[in-house]
Amino acid sequence: MNKLALFIFFLPLFIFFLPLFAFSQTETISLKDTGLFPDSLTTSAEGKGQVLITEDSRLTQILHNYSLAFRKHKIKGWRIQIYFGSDVNASQKAKSIVNKFKTEYPDVSAYIEYHEPYFKVRVGDFLTRLEAAKFKFILEQNGYKNIFLVEEEINIK
């Protein structure tokens, strides 16, 4: 029974990946043209072998479409809310908090959101709650008070 379950599990994977290897490659790329390898690896030497890397142009198109899909869409993730206010000066406070935050953490994104009548400052684009919690701990150690994690759609880098 176990062997049958494994066969049933792996059969769709085999059927899916078989066409990837069944077609001949149509595009030839020289290693010298890629610029990824040093000249010592791409020059010919007598008595040495030659490596030819070929790639199906359809694979390049699939990878291109995949990267475009991720640039257009956001995914669920986590941010840290470091400010929330609705008083008369809330807009100015939010801007000054963002400026202060960007000077302290230039590699972390900061966003000002306005949902009437509240201004919110949220920082980071974390894929997991754990990543966000680690950074929240760092912020709390550096003087940020009353901050909390927020689940929302984040930008993919």
What pLDDT does 124 receive? 94
Do residues 9 and 56 share a domain?
Answer: yes
79 with 124: CB under 8 angstroms?
Answer: yes
Do residues 60 and 82 share a domain?
Answer: no
Q: CATH no. for residue 99?
A: 3.30.70.1070
- With H, G, I as helix, E, B as strand and everything else as coil, classify residue 52: coil
* Mean of pLDDT values over 68-75: 67
Q: Which residues pair with 149 in a beta bridge?
A: 80
Q: What percent of the chain has pLDDT over 90?
A: 43
Do residues 79 and 150 share a domain?
Answer: yes
Give pTM, 2 decimals: 0.55
Do residues 66 and 109 share a domain?
Answer: no
Do residues 42 and 91 share a domain?
Answer: no
Do residues 56 and 104 share a domain?
Answer: no
Q: Is the peptide bond before 117 cis (omega within 30 degrees of 0)?
A: yes
Do residues 137 and 111 share a domain?
Answer: yes
pLDDT band for position 107 (cuts 50, 70, 90): very high
Q: Which residue did the predictor score with more confidence, 60 or 151?
A: 151
CB-side neighbour CA atoms (13 Å) of 50 = 9
Q: Is the pLDDT of residue 1 over 80?
A: no
pLDDT tens for 19-54 read 665 555 445 555 555 555 555 555 666 666 666 667
- With H, G, I as helix, E, B as strand and everything else as coil, classify residue 117: coil
46 residue type, one letter: E
Do residues 35 and 60 share a domain?
Answer: yes
Token pair recorded at residue 132: 């966000």
- With H, G, I as helix, E, B as strand and everything else as coil, classify residue 43: coil
Residue with structure tokens 């995914």? Answer: 75
Number of domains in the chain: 2
79 with 154: CB under 8 angstroms?
Answer: yes
Range of the domain at 114: 75-154
97 with 147: CB under 8 angstroms?
Answer: no
